[in-house]
Amino acid sequence: MLWIDDECVCLRAAAGHAPVKVALTTSCDVAAALAAVETLLGRAFPAPRGRGLHRVEVVVSGRFACYFVLPWAALPRPADWLAAARTKFALDGLGAPESWRFSIEDGPWGRSRMAAAAPEALCAGIARLCKEHKLRLGRIEPGFMRDVSLHRARIEDGLIAIIQIEERAGRSSVAHVGFRDQQQWTGYVALPAVAQIGGVLRDAALLCRAAPLQRTYLIAPARMQAALAGLADAHWLPSHAEEIP
């Protein structure tokens, strides 16, 4: 798995192998991230190999991932949801949509959906490097959506909050806070992560005008379980990025 954040790129190969990390020469820079990816792939797979022997999964985080909620619309095709995401991205002033690659989570009819965007230049560059190294590129996933998807079976719906702590190398951690009501996203905000998770949750609920919660889920490293003290019906879930140094 290839993990990319604002400050470094980390490659974790098969179980039992130590991760390899390369720092970005310029923070939050696509060209610097691609240079680090190329260095890592060269170290891990120095000799040409047959296509398909190695599969690379990519997770993007930090400023290389942007999240927002798409309100429900009667859009029957995935392409229609992608078009709606590009439009909302532009209307919200998040940037030029043609410079970003969008992904939309699957969801039932009649429900809003979480959307994410990653820089198109980064995604295309990773695909090019994998091809040059004869690697099979799997998914390129934004960190928050990946963790929520991996824990899908352990998250009960209702009026809930899902908080994912994203630890960034050399920078302050970020709390991604999403609110859901019966499988429907009702709000999302990213805030600085502090020890008082309850305070972060209150601020997020105020900003998103969230209804009173039934349950709260915290996706974070194990050492943060104590941060749930004082929150009603709170559940800790392991962070799948915890193994990334």
The pTM of this model reads 0.89
Residue 6 near residue 63 (C-beta atoms within 8 A): yes
For residue 34, report the phi and psi dihedrals to the nearest 5 degrees: -65, -35
| 220 beta partners | 238
Residue 103 near residue 84 (C-beta atoms within 8 A): no
Instruction: Please check whether residue 202 lies inside any domain of the structure.
Output: yes
The answer on 185 and 74 residing in a single domain is no
The answer on 141 and 160 residing in a single domain is no
The answer on 129 and 20 residing in a single domain is yes
Q: Is 124 helix (H, G, I), strand (E, B) or coil?
A: helix
The answer on 156 and 118 residing in a single domain is no
The answer on 76 and 195 residing in a single domain is no
The answer on 41 and 120 residing in a single domain is yes
- Show which of 117, 148, 179 is a domain's final residue: 148
Give the Cα separation of 178 and 208 in Å (integer). 9
Number of domains in the chain: 2
Give the Cα separation of 206 and 45 in Å (integer). 48
Per-residue pLDDT of the chain (245 residues; tens, 9 = 90+): 899 999 999 987 655 466 789 999 999 999 999 999 999 988 876 655 555 567 899 999 999 999 999 999 998 888 999 999 999 999 999 889 999 999 999 888 889 999 999 999 999 999 999 999 889 999 999 999 999 999 999 999 899 999 999 987 666 789 999 999 988 999 999 999 887 889 999 999 999 999 999 999 999 988 888 877 778 789 999 987 554 44
The answer on 155 and 106 residing in a single domain is no
- Show which of 148, 173, 195 is a domain's final residue: 148
- Model pLDDT, residue 245: 40
The answer on 170 and 144 residing in a single domain is no
Instruction: Please check whether residue 244 lies inside any domain of the structure.
Output: no
What does the block give as tokens for 198?
Answer: 């309850």
Domain CATH code at residue 158: 3.30.420.40
The domain of 144 spans: 1-148
The answer on 101 and 209 residing in a single domain is no
Angle in degrees, CA 122, 128, 134, rounded to 5: 135
Residue 239 near residue 199 (C-beta atoms within 8 A): no
Spatial neighbors of 230 by CB under 8 A, at least 6 apart, are 198
Angle in degrees, CA 132, 122, 97, rounded to 5: 140
Give the Cα separation of 114 and 187 in Å (integer). 9
